[in-house]
Amino acid sequence: MSLGEAIRNSQLWKSVFRHPMPLDRRNRIVVMLTNFFLHLHPVSIKKQGIALSYTWCMGGVTFFLFLVETVTGVLLMFYYRPTLEWAYNDILSLRDVTSLGIMRELHRWGAHAMVITTWLHMYRVFLTGSYKPPREFNWVVGVLLLLLTLLLSFTGYLLPWDQLAIWAITVGSNMARATPILGSEGPGAKLLNIDGISMITNASDARFVTIGARFVGEDTLNRFYVLHCIAIPLAVALLLAIHFWRVRKDGGISGPL
């Protein structure tokens, strides 16, 4: 008995992998059904559905980039402190002195790439008409994931706390000031008043809720940090699970009938 065989016959190995090596047809089917990570997939699939020229692989690439962002993001969280005192300096030392500071580059370029691949995935889904029945609802979930991807990128943009960061977020969040009715400079804001005293001011409007203050400051940093690292990723994880599950339930990858 060779060493490899001995390992594969051990109780330990067999308790982890419930199937023999996927070398023959039967076990290639079994592996898809018994492995947690593989069970997202069907067992067999039409050849057309896995042709790269059809799928562009962009949905898968987007998911992989989400994983890259999660891993590099967690590593960055060990290092980065979201306070006015440290945020910029921590990024500076990630660039200049920290070992594996390249995690920040991977994280930032991965984020840009993820926005692009999300768009390309949606472009492919539209151009192949894959949103048509029975997949309508999964397209809706996909649009929500697009929104969350953009919000993830937007909240992350602030964290380096350099000029680029705070002014981009200032420009972006200033828009919330103009929200109809709920923004202090939005149409209809004056409607919400009690005896002429406006309820919507720059300390209570939609922009204030977004950035946690009247201008982009430490409260914004904290708010965006929590949104970026916890709240939005959790929402994405939930919607991703629904998105993948629905791909299977709605008949697998699209193709001509």
Partner 1 sequence: MHSAPDFLSHVATPLGFYYMILCVLNWVAALVMWRHGPKTYTTLKLGPATIPVTNVIVWLLVGAAFFVCAPLAMIGLPPELPSEVKQIVNELSGPVTLTLGSLALFTILFVFRRAWTAPPVAWTILNLALLAMGMSMTDPNFTAIVAKPDNVPIVGLVFLLGFFTWLATYKAVLNDDRAAQGLPPLEKEDNEKVLVWPDLVYTELICMVALTAFLLLWAIALQAPLEEPSSRVKTPNPSKAPWYFLGLQEMLVYYDPWMAGVVLPSVVLLGLMAIPYLDFNRKGSGYYTISERKFAYLVFQFGFLELWVILIILGTFLRGPNWNFFGPFETWDAHKVLAQNNVDLSQFFWIKWLNQSMPKAPTGSGAGTELLYILWREMPGILLVFAYFVLLPPIMAATIFRKFFVKMGFIRFMLMSNLLLMMGSLPLKMVARWSVNLKYFISIPEYFLNF
Residues 117-176 binding partner 1 (CB under 8 A) are: 119-120, 123-124, 126-133, 135-137, 139-140, 143-144, 146-147, 150, 153-154, 157, 160-168, 170-172, 174-176
Tokens of 76: 């960055």
- E strand or H helix at 61, and its extent? helix 58-79
Q: In the complex with partner 1, which residue's Cβ is closer, 81 or 95?
A: 95
DSSP state of 99: T
Q: Hey, how many other C-beta atoms are within 10 angstroms of the C-beta on 218?
A: 15
Q: Spell out, one character per residue from 2 to 21, where the chain touches partner 1: x when CB under 8 A holds, - when not.
A: --------------------
| SS3 state at 198 | strand
Amino acid letter at 35?
N
Q: Spell out, one character per residue from 175 to 214, where the chain touches partner 1: x when CB under 8 A holds, - when not.
A: xxxxxx--x-xxxxxx------------------------
Q: Rule CB under 8 A: say whether 235 interacts with partner 1.
A: no
Q: Rule CB under 8 A: say whether 93 interacts with partner 1.
A: no
The closest of 155, 140, 161 to 94, measured between CA atoms, is 161
Smallest gap from Cβ 1 to partner 1, in A, equals 26
Q: In the complex with partner 1, which residue's Cβ is closer, 1 or 78?
A: 78
Produce one character per residue of 93-124: b if its CB has 16 or more CB atoms within 10 Å, e if not: ebeeeeeebebbebbbebbebbbebbebbbeb
Q: Of the listed pieces 4-12, 34-42, 73-81, 231-239, which binds partner 1 according to CB under 8 A?
A: 34-42
Select the residue interacting with partner 1 from 2, 11, 15, 53 (CB under 8 A): 53
Q: In the complex with partner 1, which residue's Cβ is closer, 6 or 43?
A: 43
| SS3 state at 108 | helix
Q: Of the listed pieces 3-11, 101-109, 223-231, 234-242, which binds partner 1 according to CB under 8 A?
A: 101-109
Q: Of the listed pieces 4-12, 75-83, 89-97, 230-238, which binds partner 1 according to CB under 8 A?
A: 89-97
Residues in the chain, total: 257
* Distance, CA of 2 to CA of 233 (rounded, Å): 45
Smallest gap from Cβ 213 to partner 1, in A, equals 11
Burial of 229 by CB count in 10 Å (0-12 exposed, 13-18 middle, 19+ buried)? buried
Q: Rule CB under 8 A: say whether 249 interacts with partner 1.
A: no
Q: Do 32 and 18 touch, CB atoms closer than 8 A? A: no
Q: Rule CB under 8 A: say whether 42 interacts with partner 1.
A: yes
